[in-house]
Amino acid sequence: MENNNLLKVENFTISYRTRKGDVEAVNNVSFELKKGETLAIVGESGCGKSSLARGLIRLFPRNIKKVEGKVTLDGREILSLDEETFRREIRWQEMSMVFQGAMNSLNPVLKVIFQVAEPLMVHFGTDRESAFKKAKEVLNLVGISSAFAERYPFELSGGMKQRVVIAMALITNPKLLLLDEPTSALDIITQENIMNLLKMLKKELNLTYIFITHDIALTSELADRMAVMYAGEIVEISPVEDFYNNPSHMYTRLLLDSVPTLRKDKSLKSIPGSPPSLIDPPSGCRFHPRCPAVMDICKVKEPPFYKIKEGHFAKCYLNEGK
């Protein structure tokens, strides 16, 4: 069954140890991603999307307690690899990540070109000259001229710094790029510029993206498929058209209703309550305390994934019998 799945995640679970208890940050997440596809993961703060991304690239905090499941990248099981092998062969070679707020984490005392070239020198042992040459190429690709390459981060604007960060992630030619809120700190016009860049790179380099954001409207700029996360779980996953036309989980619907749009006049609704604690999540369906359509069974038994159609699943009892 070697289809063109680049990434297959099965029952991925992560929990952290804290003084107040164990936080179940990611609970039984499964999905597949084809080569060249973009999966957008949307959710509010605390839903586990960043934990999921960091988990995939295996960057765990010190208080990590449990990591379970299976992650297959290009046919190779990567979750069970030992740390050294993962570091040498997978991280920043097969998959890279653009972190949230990364543009503010650039090393202020190193020139931009050095920072972009560094992964090559570290991972492949490339000599400085060749690494710098490649770095310039990649920087040009993302729209940073050679002049700016020789500058320090503080001399660059927010948008430019973000391009640098993207260049850093791309220089080792990864197949999979994880983007965690890549534009949240940027202005609208700069944001559009970056999205244009990502679209262009996707086409030219046939990149596969996992695009994480809380901005639902933004996801339509890149996403082929959408996954909605709530309280550590994926509650709905679907092709992007179906996401807008046929949201099948109550949370997804409410989320769509709460996003203001400029062109369409619609009445906005907010979702009452707040996201649950992941230390002691609600029983049954984790969304049930806030759900206007809650039924008795929702409080007791975790809903299964209902198949709405090919590639569209939702974890909500409202789909029972459809």
Report residue 198 as tokens: 């990502």
Q: Which positions ≥6 away from 282 have C-beta within 8 Å? A: 231, 276, 288, 289, 299
- CA torsion through residues 192, 193, 197, 200, sign: positive
Min separation Cβ 45 and another protein, Å: 6
Q: Which of 32, 72, 118, 158 binds another protein (CB under 8 A)?
A: 158
Interface with another protein: number of residues (CB under 8 A)? 48
Binding map of another protein across residues 233-252, x = CB under 8 A, - = no contact: -------xx-xx--------
Single residue of 189, 204, 321, 322 touching another protein by CB under 8 A: 189
CA neighbor of 226 nearest in space, from 215, 245, 214, 242: 242
Stretch that binds another protein, among 59-67, 94-102, 217-225, 309-317 (CB under 8 A): 217-225
Smallest distance, Å, CB 306 to another protein? 22
Rounded distance between C-alpha atoms, residue 28 and residue 13, angstroms: 5
CB of 163 to another protein, least distance (A): 12
How far apart are alpha carbons 180 and 55 in whole angstroms?
A: 12
Quick note: the x/- pattern for another protein over 15-54, rule CB under 8 A, is -----------------------x-----xx---------
- End-to-end Cα spacing for the chain: 29
Query: Helices 112-123 and 158-170: crossing angle, nearest 10°?
Result: 20
Residues binding another protein (CB under 8 A): 38, 44-45, 157-160, 187-193, 195-196, 199-200, 214-218, 220-224, 240-241, 243-244, 254-256, 258-263, 265, 268-271, 274-275
